[in-house]
Structure 1
Amino acid sequence: MIEFTDSFSQACVAEACAAFPELRNRLAVELILPMFVRPLNAMGQVIGKPIVAPNPLLHKTVLSVFHRDVVEHLPKEIAFCRYVCPCDSYGVPTGEWQRVINGVYFNHGSNEQPNWSVHT
């Protein structure tokens, strides 16, 4: 799950992903959540246990961009915090979100020649 602190951060991350395909690919790989399937009847109702059991933990990443970290219309850095929450047998969060790690995606290059890396 991805969450943004505000609409400015959401717009900046979208602009950066459109301008920098390697950043978009990095985010896609690092933020993919495992999926699971449950058997359904003809009405779309769950009729059995998951075919692949859901993870016992749900992960969430919160992204934010600060106005001072923008060069032209693209962010130079994107801050993140990753959280984890225990889940029940259906994969529904049941407890408090706990921060696991925080860091930043940083462009050591320029908008014309980007060089994105992660610092935690």
Structure 2
Amino acid sequence: MIEFTDSFSQAAVAEACSASPQLLNLLAIQLTLPVFFRPFDDEGHITGAPEVRPLCSLRKTVLWVSERDLVGHLPKEITFVRQSCTCNDYGQPEGEWQRIINGVYYNHGSNESPDWRCHT
């Protein structure tokens, strides 16, 4: 799940993803939630067919862009906070969201030749 702190951040991230397929791919890979549970044995080998069942916890990533971090119309860095919350038997979040990690997606290149990387 992705959450934005404000509409400016949402627009800035959308603009950056539109200009850089690399950033879009980085976000897509890191923010993908598990859909299937796969049973494993003690050695880590898959022992059965995948099961669809409610998740025992949810993760969300909160993204934020500061207007000071813009170079032209694209952000130089996108700050993120990943959070987790336990779920009930039906997969609905219960209790407080707990912060897991803080970090930043930083463009080490330029707007014309972006080089996005994740730093925590």
TM-score by length of 2: 0.85
Counterpart of 1:85 in structure 2 is 85
Q: How does 1:98-109 map to 2 (within 5 A)?
A: 98-109=98-109
Q: Measure, in 2, the Cα distance between the counterparts of 1:21 and 1:114.
A: 9
CA RMSD, 1 decimal: 1.0
Q: Measure, in 2, the Cα distance between the counterparts of 1:115 and 1:33.
A: 25
Deviations 1:29-76 (A, max 9, x none): 11111236xxxxxxxxxxxxxx51222110010000000000000000
Mean CA deviation greater in 65-74 or 26-35? 26-35
**Number of residue pairs aligned between Structure 1 and Structure 2:** 106
Runs of at least 4 residues of structure 1 off by over 3 A?
none
Report the residue type matching 2:17 in the other structure. Answer: C
Ranges in structure 1 where 5+ consecutive residues have no aligned partner? 37-50
TM-score by length of 1: 0.85
Q: Measure, in 2, the Cα distance between the counterparts of 1:20 and 1:34.
A: 25
Measured after TM superposition, the shift of residue 23 of structure 1 is 0.4
Q: Measure, in 2, the Cα distance between the counterparts of 1:88 and 1:64.
A: 29
Deviations 1:6-40 (A, max 9, x none): 0000000000000000100110111111236xxxx
Q: Measure, in 2, the Cα distance between the counterparts of 1:114 and 1:18.
A: 12
Instruction: Give the fraction of aligned pairs with identical amino acids, expressed as a percent.
Output: 66
